[in-house]
Amino acid sequence: MSTVAAPIVELRSASFGYGDRRVVSEVDLAVHPGEVVALLGPNGSGKSTLVRGTLGLTDRQGGEVRLLGTPIERFREHTRLGYVPQRHSLSASVRATVSEIVAVGRLPHRAWWRPATAADHAAVAAAIEDVGLSDRADEEVAALSGGQQRRVLIARALAAEPDLLLMDEPTAGVDQGSQLALADVLRRLAARGTSMLVVTHELDALEDVVTRIVCMEAGHLDFDGTTTAYADHLAAHAAGSAHHHDERGVDAGLRAGVLGTGPLDPTQGAFE
């Protein structure tokens, strides 16, 4: 009899918000080892809030969150979850090399006063290679393109050797070439079994990477299934509910390869 691996992340009727404002309500969700889950939904639907709430970065207003089987209030192994936040880029004033930035991801693994070990250096080099920037390891990050900087931040998260990589819009706001390069990085990570939860609007480049789609609408999950099932879900609702998930845009995105407009929407913010 086959068994299903215990989830890395499990939400049970979980609600999240900011102060007295509830943004995400009564969500049940589990992410298992080896899965690559795309989290979709229109701006303001609560995608980013859900991810940040899962990490304990926003207020939990109800329900349960379990990380690697441990209730979040008792969870201490934070290096096992790698997070690449939305819209995060490196300042042009940062005077640090790619290797130095990625090495920050190793700091939680040792006391701050201890020098980096051979294992630390190996993990940094491997993470930089994973994102295809080995030839830029000694360059200052300020000299890199926006897409390359995004890859540096993914490498920083990977350097911690996490069980799950959570990425908020990793391909948004960069040109098409950079989107394809980032998608290739995620493809390689998925091929070796890296578990990922990816908030995204650009499903085209990730369509062969994603194993499951979860969609949010107005702070609730209203779909959880395969890419094929999601296309059927959109088709079933398109005729009578043109506004549902902005179906015209999403359905076209599944066919043409792009969800939404791609670039960061300036109205996106803390309450998405």
Q: Concatenated DSSP letters for 122-160?
A: HHHHHHHHHTT-GGGTTSBGGGS-HHHHHHHHHHHHHHT
| Residues ≥6 apart with Cβ < 8 Å to 6 | 32, 69
Q: Contact 146/90 with Cβ under 8 angstroms?
A: no
Residue 262: predicted pLDDT: 29
Give me the residue label for tokens 């059927």. 232
**Domain 9-256 homologous superfamily, CATH:** P-loop containing nucleotide triphosphate hydrolases (3.40.50.300)
Q: Contact 260/249 with Cβ under 8 angstroms?
A: yes
Dist CA 261 CA 79 (whole Å): 33
Global pTM reads 0.81
Digitized pLDDT (tens) for each residue of the chain, 272 residues in all:
445 678 999 999 999 999 889 999 999 999 999 999 999 988 889 999 999 999 999 999 999 999 999 999 999 998 899 999 876 566 666 689 999 999 999 998 887 788 989 999 999 999 999 999 999 999 999 888 888 988 999 999 999 999 999 999 888 877 888 888 888 899 999 998 999 999 987 777 788 889 999 999 999 998 999 888 988 887 887 765 654 444 334 343 333 333 332 222 333 344 45
Query: In the chain, what are the domain boundaries?
Result: 9-256
64-69, Cβ contacts within 8 angstroms, sequence gap of 24 or more: 64/10, 64/11, 64/12, 64/13, 64/14, 65/9, 65/10, 65/11, 65/12, 65/14, 66/7, 66/9, 66/10, 66/11, 66/12, 67/8, 67/9, 68/8, 68/163, 69/6
